[in-house]
Amino acid sequence: MEKGKGKEHASPITPLGTNPSIYPSAQRVLDTNDEAGIRLNKSFAALVQEVGGFENLSFNEKNCHNYIDKERYLQLGKSGAKAILQYFARMQYKNDGFFSNIDHDDDGRLKNVLWADARSRTAYKYFGDVVTFDMTYLANRYGMPFAPFVGINHHHQSIFFGIGLISNEDTEIFAWLFQTWLNCIDGEAPKAIITDQDRAMKNAIALVFPNIGHRYCLWYILKKVPEKLGSHHAYKTGLKTNLLKCVYDSQTIGEFENNWDVLITMYNLQENA
């Protein structure tokens, strides 16, 4: 930089990748933030700030929207997408009770899918008062989020009420999945749904199921116990055991509340955040 010309910003990097106007490092920022549930306008503002102004970017916010939309599709390949469509067609031919719905992007690629066979839909009518929605599992080598709606039958066995494959874990896609599943079960929402503590999932449930109870999975809550209470002097000499006993051995709300009060008092946890 020559003297007297002030601060100089680097020119935008030569664009590469699926969107010709967005350079690779910006694509990585958009992908990472999108997966984390960060709004696109905030991601774009961060990119603008990084290069020192709008004039130093080779793309605008609309280009970013288009890029993210194109990235949100099921990475199945032609054979995988064809196999899903053939399976849906075959099941619908064999069974009138089979339900499926497919969400495409603007280029006609599979974006999200949900399906449920007649047995699952019938089981929901009997055992669908409480539903678990667990996104822990990933489906096969494609790494796509596998989205099962699960309940418990009268034999204490896990049963499916519907299954989805989704392209991204954000509020918009979760809302599509929940609304599609609600249509599948004839609009009869469960009394309660149990999930992990994902914020996008929580937002979508509030939109689609505003009147049902939303609770966090006990496994996810207890998983944080060592982090929150592990430093307590009595953690390994009774606190942990009594905490788990309180949680797992209480059969009623009143019994739990009483046991909890005893636990809090016994270990002087009244002021423990």
Looking at 15, 41, 71, the residue that finishes a domain is 71
Is 130 domain-assigned? yes
Question: What's the longest Cα–Cα distance across the chain?
Answer: 81
Q: Are 150 and 134 in contact (CB under 8 A)?
A: yes
Q: What is the DSSP string of 79-126?
A: HHHHHHHHHHHHHHHH-TT-EEEEEE-TTS-EEEEEEE-HHHHHHHHH
Pair (117, 197) in one structural domain: yes
Residue type, 180: T
Q: What is the pLDDT at residue 163?
A: 94
Q: What is the pLDDT at residue 79?
A: 64
Is 109 domain-assigned? yes
Q: What is the pLDDT at residue 261?
A: 96
Pair (99, 170) in one structural domain: yes
pTM of the model: 0.68
Q: Name the helix (H) or strand (E) containing 148.
A: strand 144-152
Pair (175, 208) in one structural domain: yes
Pair (88, 173) in one structural domain: yes
* SS3 (DSSP) at 144: strand
Pair (191, 176) in one structural domain: yes
Which residues of the chain carry a pLDDT beneath 70? Answer: 1-20, 69-79, 107, 136-144
Pair (66, 81) in one structural domain: no
Between vectors from CA 177 to CA 130 and to CA 217, what angle results, nearest 5°?
40
Looking at the DSSP assignment, which residues form a beta bridge with residue 74? none
What phi, psi does 101 have (nearest 5°)?
Answer: -145, 140
Number of domains in the chain: 3
CATH number at residue 91: 3.30.420
Is 3 domain-assigned? no
Is 53 domain-assigned? yes
Pair (123, 180) in one structural domain: yes
Q: What is the pLDDT at residue 12?
A: 37
Is 18 domain-assigned? no
Q: What is the pLDDT at residue 128?
A: 96
Pair (216, 230) in one structural domain: no
Is 6 domain-assigned? no
Q: Name the helix (H) or strand (E) containing 14.
A: none
Q: What is the pLDDT at residue 167?
A: 82
CA distances from 234 to 160, 230, 258, 269 (A): 41, 9, 21, 11
Q: What is the pLDDT at residue 191?
A: 97
DSSP 10: P
Two tokens, residue 241 = 């055991």
Residues whose CB falls within 8 Å of the CB of residue 268, separated by 6 or more in sequence, listed in order: none
**Size of the chain, expressed as the number of residues it contains:** 273
Q: What is the pLDDT at residue 69?
A: 65
67: containing domain: 24-71
Pair (132, 211) in one structural domain: yes
Cα(138)–Cα(128) distance, rounded to whole angstroms?
Answer: 24
Pair (164, 216) in one structural domain: yes
Cα(38)–Cα(47) distance, rounded to whole angstroms?
Answer: 13
Cα(23)–Cα(202) distance, rounded to whole angstroms?
Answer: 33
Pair (168, 182) in one structural domain: yes
Pair (115, 157) in one structural domain: yes
Is 17 domain-assigned? no
Q: Are 75 and 111 in contact (CB under 8 A)?
A: no
Is 5 domain-assigned? no
